[in-house]
Amino acid sequence: MSFNPKLCRNESEVESKLIVQYLLPILGYDASTWHQEVALGSIRLDFLALISPIIPTSSDSFPKAFPKICVVMEAKHPKQNLNFHVRRLRRYLSNLQVLYGVLTNGKDFRIYELDGDGINLIFQCQGLEITDKIPKIKDIIGRDKLAGLETSQSQSSIDFPIPIKNITLPSEPISLVTSEPITMKTIAIYHNKGGVGKTTTTINLAAAMSRKGLKVLIIDLDSQANTTYAAGLMKFDNEDDDMLKDGNVYNVIHYPRSNYIPDIALKGSFTYPAVDVIPAHINLIWQENTLIDQESSKFQLVKKLELVRDQYDVVLIDTPPSLNLYAKIALIACDYLIIPSDLKPFANEGLRNVRNFIQEIDEFRSYTNRNGIKVLGVLPSKILTNANYIKATLPKQEKVIAERYGFPVLETRIFQREDLSRAVDNFILEGDIQTPDPKSIFDFKPDSISAAEFEELANEVLNKIGMRP
């Protein structure tokens, strides 16, 4: 029997054609010894291959000790770079104290071995070579080989560090409550007033953080898709070329057991180092009704973010100027909130809505044992550069925010400057054809005052969320 990597065109084909149909049988694991979609505490494994079957002693009771000699297998989409998934595999192996981990996207096949709290790459080959290398692979993670290891080791199992809640069937929901500290921080950028600089803040804050070496994910939850455009993901002008229609934030929210974040995220071209983006789409407008009817849609983003918390340091969510479902989803999923405001009377009036909205969402969050939203502050944004205004009026306006609406005000101010709007309007001219090429302020004019302001904002925010710059 040989394996052809061309058969694997997506993640589920890597799972079915490489792992289930080829690898597990050839390595000696029969259906009673491997499990798919295994949920252990906050960890969700694609596959777990064991030397002998785990049989629960009653319907809801599972072994207290977890076998050390077994194999975790993680399948990825063929386009995914496996390097981005090593950190997560290391967490799985070291938390579970499992000896071996397989990571594959069909094209690249790797075996890692646990070494203390770390892991070492002990075998790697291309998908095309897997058939020829089976004897070598068997010699590392074949069931017979591992059974031999078990008899030669006195301690074959360890006490499981966190309670094993379930070895589940795929339909079992993943727990929203985790016993482990969360390192990834999720920040929503929200105000129900339009045009106050939410999208500009999302894009440029993401760029500032990415330049500091942080892994950043942007999620665009606004049907206007301005962030998606500003991230450089809407370079088509023909509806037939619109690839975002079938892969955007709706897929993430709508489908509970598929369309995970790595399946949908695209690399934005607006900044370097690149930032991943979950795009929005104009269809979100009419899709909202479908989602409203599906209560679970409010939780999908929380659950799916939970699965990538080893892949990103910061997630920034851009929101619509509304109190609609998408705004709710953003506020349910976030840890922190930034409220950009031009401090004008309408925006201030809107802060009352923002406050009530936060209260409503916090109540909802309490039902799922999640803490309330931490408001980092109102961000003075699109502020006039007139010297008299800055001296006489601006400090009073900032004071009112705290006194009247009870929100803190961030120290950084983002002033109204043409460079910011020109950066997003940037284009490439080839002959007489203009192609949009939006840029972050750091990539458009790195030595501008606006770039310095966003650098200051990134520092202030990182400081406030406990990730010192």
- CA atoms within 13 A of residue 86's CA, in its CB half-sphere: 15
Instruction: Pick what 343 binds: Mg ion, ligand ATP, none; C-beta below 5 to 8 Å, kind-dependent.
Output: none
- The SS3 call for residue 188 is strand
Residue 251, sorted as left (phi over 0), alpha (psi -120 to 50) or beta, turns out to be alpha
Angle 56-61-66 from CA coordinates, rounded to 5°: 70
Count of helices and strands (H, E) across the chain: 18, 18
Among 198, 281, 413, 439, binds ligand ATP (CB under 6 A): 198
Residues 439/428, Cβ–Cβ less than 8 Å: no
Residue 445 engages ligand ATP in binding (rule: CB under 6 A): no
Q: Under rule CB under 5 A, how many of the chain's residues touch Mg ion?
A: 3
Closer residue to ligand ATP in complex, CB, 28/321: 321
Footprint of ligand ATP on 284-323 (CB under 6 A): 321
Nearest to 92, CA basis, from 167, 50, 42, 145: 42
CB of 198: closest distance to Mg ion in angstroms? 5
The beta strands (E) that lie in 270-367 are given as: 276-278, 314-318, 336-341
How many whole angstroms separate alpha carbon 352 and alpha carbon 354? 5
Residues 376/458, Cβ–Cβ less than 8 Å: no
Among 36, 186, 192, 199, binds Mg ion (CB under 5 A): 199
Residue 414 engages ligand ATP in binding (rule: CB under 6 A): yes
Among 198, 211, 304, 413, binds Mg ion (CB under 5 A): 198
How many whole angstroms separate alpha carbon 416 and alpha carbon 283? 31
CB of 252: closest distance to Mg ion in angstroms? 19
How many whole angstroms separate alpha carbon 305 and alpha carbon 278? 12
- DSSP state, 270? S
Footprint of ligand ATP on 30-89 (CB under 6 A): none
Closer residue to ligand ATP in complex, CB, 190/405: 190
Neighbouring-strand partners of residue 126:
108
Stretch that binds ligand ATP, among 21-29, 91-99, 118-126, 420-428 (CB under 6 A): 420-428
Instruction: Pick what 421 binds: Mg ion, ligand ATP, none; C-beta below 5 to 8 Å, kind-dependent.
Output: ligand ATP
Residue 436 engages ligand ATP in binding (rule: CB under 6 A): no
Residue 194 engages ligand ATP in binding (rule: CB under 6 A): yes
Contacts of 417 (CB under 8 A, 6+ apart): 385, 448, 449, 450
Closer residue to ligand ATP in complex, CB, 142/320: 320
Closer residue to ligand ATP in complex, CB, 416/426: 416
Among 38, 302, 420, 441, binds ligand ATP (CB under 6 A): 420
First to last CA, the chain: 53
Instruction: Pick what 420 binds: ligand ATP, Mg ion, none; C-beta below 5 to 8 Å, kind-dependent.
Output: ligand ATP
- What is the distance of C-alpha 77 from the center of its chain? 16
Residue 223 engages Mg ion in binding (rule: CB under 5 A): no
CB of 438: closest distance to ligand ATP in angstroms? 10
**Would you say the C-alpha torsion 273, 276, 282, 288 has a positive or negative sign?**
negative
Residue 191 engages Mg ion in binding (rule: CB under 5 A): no
Instruction: Pick what 382 binds: Mg ion, ligand ATP, none; C-beta below 5 to 8 Å, kind-dependent.
Output: ligand ATP
Residue 226 engages Mg ion in binding (rule: CB under 5 A): yes
- Which residues of this protein are in contact with Mg ion, per CB under 5 A? 198-199, 226
- Which residues of this protein are in contact with ligand ATP, per CB under 6 A? 194-200, 222, 224, 226, 321, 381-382, 414, 416-417, 420-421, 424
